[in-house]
Amino acid sequence: MALPSYASPVQKTYYYFYLFFCGVVFFFLVAPLFAIVPISFSVSPFMVFTDGMLAWPPDPEAWSLRWYRNMIGDCSADVVSSTVPCSNKWMIGTVNSFFIGIVATVIATALGTLAALGLSRPHMPFKGLIMAILISPMIVPLIITAAGMFFFYARINLVYTFTGVILAHVALATPFVVITVTATLVGFDMNMVKAAQSLGARPVKTFFRVIMPLILPGIISGALFAFITSFDEVVIVMFMASLDQLTIPKQMWAGIRQEISPVILCMATCLVALSIFLLTTVELLRRRSERLRGIKPR
Amino acid sequence: MPIGDMLLRSVDDAQINTVFPKTFEEYNKWDREKDELPPEEVYRTLFEELATGEKIAIGRALTRMNYSKSGWKSLIKKTSREIKKMTRKGLVPESYKTTLIEINKDWGDPTFWYSMAQMVNKQTSIYYWNAIDRTFDQDQNVIMQDEKRRIYVQTWFKTLKVSVYVTFFCLILGFPVAHLLANLPLRYSNLLMIFVLLPFWTSLLVRTTAWIVMLQQKGVINGVLVWLGILSDDGRLQMVYNETGTLIAMTQILLPFMILPLYSVMKVIPKSHMRAAQNLGAKPAMAFWRVYLPQTIPGMSAGGLLVFVLAIGYFITPELVGGKDGKLIGSWIAFHLKTTLNWGLCAALGAILLAVMLVFYWLYNKIVGIDNIKLG
């Protein structure tokens, strides 16, 4: 969308202003994420750029891995600081987060894929209604879902258990799987199912040998969405988990509210790295799936 | 299902009825026109039910009674203690009424008895009225809360205001970016798309923390402004822990939800339309206004509603970045759920929020259809 050669000066001004504006917005979107990375390597116990960090030539004294060592539970004398507590809470949180995330992802992916398969059949009754109910956790504010689940789970004694947290996360994560798998199924040729069955394959075998390999990119990206949803979720964990059931987001929340320490930024840096990794994976999968379905990039 | 349960909770008032069933039965026989205080029978049943009732159940009922009129809790607690003493000694009072009034003169105060009328029914609308700063007076009329207890109406308006502002800013910032992404060759736009998707994939708490780091008084933005000489060192702006901070952070966090629907709509608008319009003699601004903009309306409404609906229920960012006066309605729901344990009020606030949401959701469905949600 380059400017035509006959553009008037006014048009040129508009055009460059427009490009500049977009640049500012892009900067606004990502700058905060990258601003925290250098600070996490600081020596200072405050979340600021110190004079030493901004000095030129760089002052090696101002940089350290101190807070990363604090994060992984190393409490040696040169790591601890009077304002920053040191414990292995971050590591417990990491283990819990991955455990809850992975279990919830597996369940949500299985349920979501099945739902998407059923919903993509042409003769499914009440399709709109079922779809609306399925994706409602995505639209309804989290705080309402969380409050509702808390009341409901309080009745059936699931509050303050891992099971409760995982089930709640499954409910939140399933819509993402349904949506991505439904999108993949748009280009899926249902005749292949008929062909497989006419050749004698049972429905289960048809699914694993014919359908699944073809929609796998959709399933995986749905699973990644599900994982990040559960991994990043804090409201439900706050209500539903007991005090000692820590997860990374809960620990970050507590950290921001009580003691603002650079350890939070270390964890944040790790999470940014994780999200870059997941984003790349999803993007590659999406291209692969488009290539397989014969949709050429325009 | 959990949401249905929440709706039940918001009107549910049965618990207290299981604690004082006989008292309430007798209470209903009391003719207020005739006697100033309830008859002897009411005092007797109340005395017995306090003496035999389960401690935990009574405790819960007390909390509920205190919502109707403060003072119930201490009154019943004191009375219970005296009743326990008496039953241990095996004393049976001659007149329950005089005994209770002797124990605490508040039992002779009719306003306490009037407020009991609110609890007799198994369903109540008190929580809904409380959620919009109203309460009942002694004759069951709806009145305003005390001046200093009016917080919710104000918070509802603040929530709406913040949501409208955030939606507006997202639209202003998102529209040109979506336009650029939709019109660039795919090679560049895929690259730039990462800038939009990366924040979308990054943890909400990470982004919120990042904004605190950016906006605080010794933070990055103030630092740069001071360094550039725009601000003096002691004139640093207070941008975090107030509404400004909430607006900035929420706009950045919700911006991808505006850009993505806009992008998917703009992507399919043929470029030839603009050229054709200009060919027919329209100035570029006119062509944009009359030809391009109307075609993006589905995208704008989809993105706008998505952002609005997400913003109205937002809880984490306002709570962390907003400070004391940045509290939105979501914070109050969490506060009543976790801290005061006033679940009825919490559920009522949630139900009202849900109703607001459903209206917007319905609109959204009318305009673009729910199947059109795309995740990039």
Cβ–Cβ contact B286 with A under 8 A: no
Q: How far is A273 from chain B (nearest CA, A)?
A: 9
Q: Which of A151, A260, A263 to mutate to test the interface with B (most CBs of B within 10 A)?
A: A151
What are the structural domains, with CATH classification, of chain B?
15-123 (no CATH), 152-372 (1.10.3720.10)
Nearest to B365 by CA among B310, B287, B314, B305: B305
Query: Does the beta-carbon distance from B350 to A144 stay under 8 Å?
Result: yes
Instruction: Find the CB nearest B309 among A139, A179, A249.
Output: A139
- Quote the Cα angle for A205-A218-A196, to 5°: 25
Q: How far is A157 from chain B (nearest CA, A)?
A: 13
Cβ–Cβ contact B196 with A under 8 A: yes
**Distance (Å, rounded) from C-alpha A259 to C-alpha A276?**
28
Cβ–Cβ contact B375 with A under 8 A: yes
Q: What is the DSSP letter of B149?
A: G
Q: Which range scores top for mean pLDDT: A14-23, B40-49, B145-154, B361-370?
A: A14-23
Burial class of residue B234, CB neighbours in 10 A (0-12, 13-18, 19+)? exposed
Residue B171 binned pLDDT confidence (cut-offs 50, 70, 90): very high
Secondary structure (3-state) at B135: strand
**Distance (Å, rounded) from C-alpha B373 to C-alpha B306?**
9
- HSE, CB side, 13 Å, CA atoms: give it for residue A63: 10
CB A116 within 8 A of CB A185: yes
Is residue B60's pLDDT more than 80? no
Peptide bond connecting A57 to the previous residue in cis, omega within 30 degrees of 0: yes
Is residue B212's pLDDT more than 80? yes
Domain parsing of chain A, residue ranges: 9-71, 89-292
Cβ–Cβ contact B144 with A under 8 A: no
What are the chain A neighbours of B309 within 8 Å (beta carbons)? 139, 141
- In degrees and rounded to multiples of 5, residue B134 shows phi and psi of -110, 160
**Distance (Å, rounded) from C-alpha B115 to C-alpha B140?**
9
Helix then strand count (H, E) for chain A reads: 13, 0
DSSP labels, A240-281: HS-TT---HHHHHHHHHHS---HHHHHHHHHHHHHHHHHHHH
Amino acid identity for residue B81 in this structure: R
Which chain A residue is nearest to residue B176, measuring alpha carbons?
A22
What are the chain B neighbours of A128 within 8 Å (beta carbons)? 370
Secondary structure (3-state) at A289: helix
Cβ–Cβ contact B3 with A under 8 A: yes
Query: Does the beta-carbon distance from B180 to A278 stay under 8 Å?
Result: no
- What per-residue confidence (pLDDT) applies to B124? 66
Query: What is the average per-residue pLDDT within B71-94?
Result: 71
Instruction: Find the CB nearest B198 among A30, A147, A231.
Output: A30
- In degrees and rounded to multiples of 5, residue A249 shows phi and psi of -60, -35
**Distance (Å, rounded) from C-alpha A272 to C-alpha A266?**
10
**If you count them, how many residues does chain B have?**
376
Which chain A residue is nearest to residue B311, measuring alpha carbons?
A141
Query: What is the average per-residue pLDDT within B158-165?
Result: 89
Q: What is the DSSP letter of B94?
A: S
**Residue matched to tokens 């409901």:** A152
pLDDT tens for each residue of B213-263: 888 877 788 888 888 877 777 777 777 778 888 888 889 989 988 888 888
Tokens representing B22 are 């006989």
Query: What's the Cα-to-Cα distance from B68 to each of B12, B71, B124, B136, B140, rounded to whole Å?
Result: 14, 9, 11, 8, 11
**Distance (Å, rounded) from C-alpha B60 to C-alpha B67?**
12
- In degrees and rounded to multiples of 5, residue B123 shows phi and psi of -115, 150
Which of A36-45, A168-177, B79-88 is least confident? B79-88
Amino acid identity for residue B343 in this structure: W
- What per-residue confidence (pLDDT) applies to A281? 85
Cβ–Cβ contact B309 with A under 8 A: yes
Secondary structure (3-state) at B273: helix
Cβ–Cβ contact B132 with A under 8 A: no
Considering only the C-alpha atoms of chain A, give the largest distance between any 2 of them, rounded to a whole number of Å: 74
Query: Does the beta-carbon distance from A131 to B371 stay under 8 Å?
Result: yes
Query: What's the Cα-to-Cα distance from B222 to each of A42, A45, B186, rounded to whole Å?
Result: 19, 19, 37
What are the chain A neighbours of B347 within 8 Å (beta carbons)? 147, 151
* Non-local CB neighbours of A285 within 8 Å, separated by 6+ positions: A217, A220, A221
Give me the percent of chain A exceeding a pLDDT of 90.
8
CB A233 within 8 A of CB A249: yes
Tokens representing B216 are 């605080």
**Distance (Å, rounded) from C-alpha A248 to C-alpha A186?**
36
- What per-residue confidence (pLDDT) applies to B375? 44
Cβ–Cβ contact B140 with A under 8 A: no
Return the CATH number of A89-292, one of 3.50.50.60, 1.10.3720.10, 3.40.190.10, 3.40.50.620.
1.10.3720.10
Q: How far is A208 from chain B (nearest CA, A)?
A: 26
What are the chain B neighbours of A140 within 8 Å (beta carbons)? 3, 313, 354, 357
User: Across the A/B interface, how many CB contacts are shorter than 8 Å?
Assistant: 200
List, in sequence order, every residue forming a beta bridge with B135; answer none if it has no partner.
B143
Instruction: Find the CB nearest B313 among A141, A249, A283.
Output: A141
**Distance (Å, rounded) from C-alpha A207 to C-alpha B104?**
74
CB B147 within 8 A of CB B135: no
* Non-local CB neighbours of B203 within 8 Å, separated by 6+ positions: A231, A232, A249, A252, A268, A271, A275
Query: Does the beta-carbon distance from A1 to B373 stay under 8 Å?
Result: no
Give me the percent of chain A exceeding a pLDDT of 70.
90
Which chain A residue is nearest to residue B316, measuring alpha carbons?
A235
Which of A17-31, A102-116, A202-216, B15-29 is least confident? B15-29
pTM as predicted: 0.78
Amino acid identity for residue B328 in this structure: L
Query: Does the beta-carbon distance from A33 to B202 stay under 8 Å?
Result: yes
**Distance (Å, rounded) from C-alpha A272 to C-alpha B275?**
42
Cβ–Cβ contact B330 with A under 8 A: yes
